[in-house]
Amino acid sequence: MSEATHTNDASGARDPPRLDGWPLVGNTVAFARDPFAFYDRLDSTGDAVCYSIAGDEFCTVFEPEYVQRILVEENERYVKAQAFRQAAAGFAEQGLLLTEGEVWRDQRVRIQPAFTPDRIQQYADAMVEYAERTAEDLASEAGAAENIVDVGEAMSELTLRILAKSLLDVDVADRRAVVREATEALNDRGDAGGASAFVPDWVPTPKNRRFRRAMTAFEQLVDDLVDDRRDAAGEHDDLLALLLHAEGPDGTTMSEDAVRDQMVTFLFAGHETTSLALTYAWHLLGRNPDAAARLRTELDDVLGDRRATMADLPDLDYTDRVVTEALRLYPPAYVIFREPTEDVRLGPYRVREGTNVTLPVFKIHRDERFYDDPDAFRPERWTDEFRAELPEYAYFPFGGGPRHCIGMRFARTELKLVLATLARELAFEPTYDGDPDLTMAATLRPDQPMEMRVEPR
């Protein structure tokens, strides 16, 4: 790499290539009509490409080295992008996903103890226990004449229960509809295809009204959970306890609004993402019977008739690769947004202050420069040698740098334990043809119910 590439000085650098667009509307129409085709076009234009959407300046980067620079090496020169903040407006603005600077740092330090390896060890029991219950429910449904299950729904229910039990010590089975409606409304409003993400949230469109209503109900649910906790006798040792009692550097505890926003953040960020990852993993295993067979052989060899525990994870190597490969092909957090707070340099390019810089995880994960046969599901590819040679940030489903996913270890543990527990008992066979069409919403979601035939093993 040349000396010039490493300098932080943006002067003397050139603008990245630019997509032509119509005056005033820029590339808004092309993006809204088919965002996937739009990203393909960007990708074939250059390794960093600028364009305009709804009057705002965007730049998408396809080079892992630039990703590393943005998320890690020069993270202090970036904040979450305005486009991201706008799409999330009205959603947990004081929560960890959206705060910046000292406020963010203080929150991250307070919350981090809820995600240490020891803590995750404690959560592992809830993960396996709820997964076993789901396996029983699905097996009894599978025994009935109609054995087709909406796997997306089943995983959503399971991951929400695990999350709420682990982090808040509550069983939310009967209150799932509220969380679900808020998730749907946020996704609906954030749907990139509809370009509604670019309409400010105070504009009373039907989508924004639905979102407000759903958020109000969601916040009420969270307030009730907090009230229950304040009233409850007995010590708790979980995320909610930390939020209520942990003191910051100034010796104060978090405000009521901040506690609520954190809860909303965690119930959203930790639920939909893991549920999608599991759903895609079942889809991929259903489409690749050899991989499914290999997974089961590993589970039989390592576990025999025992239930999986956290201590088994180091031996569940193939299970780990299945999870890694599923997150490569279908990263639920499919684009990461940043905005430079000053002009910055990326390789030969200058990117101007205030540009919405997007890091398309889903494109880089299928780049044939890094992955042979990039669309194929091949858990075997994740050998130690392959990992060692892969450029850092050619794979980043959990982001990177100081703002990487705080729930990463939690999520990877959960994904492996749930897969191991269910795959021992059941097989899932998609009832639809091919791969699902996807929607770019707040997460990368299938456009259809993921209905699969459930067969007991």
- Which residue's CB atom is positioned nearest to ligand HEM? 407
* DSSP character string of 40-101: HHHHHH-SEEEEEETTEEEEEE--HHHHHIIIIITGGGEE--HHHHHHTTTS-TTSTTT--H
Q: Distance between CA atoms of 226 and 220, rounded to whole angstroms?
A: 10
Question: Nearest distance from residue 453's CB to ligand HEM, in Å?
Answer: 25
Task: Name the token pair of 64.
Answer: 């892992």
Q: Quick one: 402 or 456, whose CB is closer to ligand HEM?
A: 402
Amino acid, res. 216 = T
Q: Quick one: 269 or 441, whose CB is closer to ligand HEM?
A: 269
Q: Quick one: 13 or 151, whose CB is closer to ligand HEM?
A: 151
Question: Nearest distance from residue 381's CB to ligand HEM, in Å?
Answer: 19
Q: Distance between CA atoms of 349 and 107, rounded to whole angstroms?
A: 34
Question: Nearest distance from residue 240's CB to ligand HEM, in Å?
Answer: 12
Question: Nearest distance from residue 18's CB to ligand HEM, in Å?
Answer: 25
State how far the alpha carbon of 101 is from the alpha carbons of 49, 77, 108, 114, 405, in Å: 28, 11, 11, 21, 17
Rounded to the nearest 5°, which phi and psi values hold at 364?
-65, -35
Q: Quick one: 110 or 424, whose CB is closer to ligand HEM?
A: 110
> For residue 430, how many other CB atoms are within 10 A of its CB?
19
Q: Quick one: 50 or 269, whose CB is closer to ligand HEM?
A: 269
Q: Quick one: 142 or 327, whose CB is closer to ligand HEM?
A: 327
Please answer whether residues 346 and 66 qualify as being in contact, where contact means their C-beta atoms are separated by less than 8 angstroms: yes
Site of interaction with ligand HEM (CB under 6 A): 80, 96-97, 108, 265-266, 269-270, 273-274, 277, 331-333, 336, 397-399, 403, 405-407, 410-411
Task: Name the token pair of 342.
Answer: 């000053």
Question: Nearest distance from residue 148's CB to ligand HEM, in Å?
Answer: 25
State how far the alpha carbon of 277 is from the alpha carbons of 64, 83, 218, 241, 290, in Å: 22, 25, 23, 28, 20
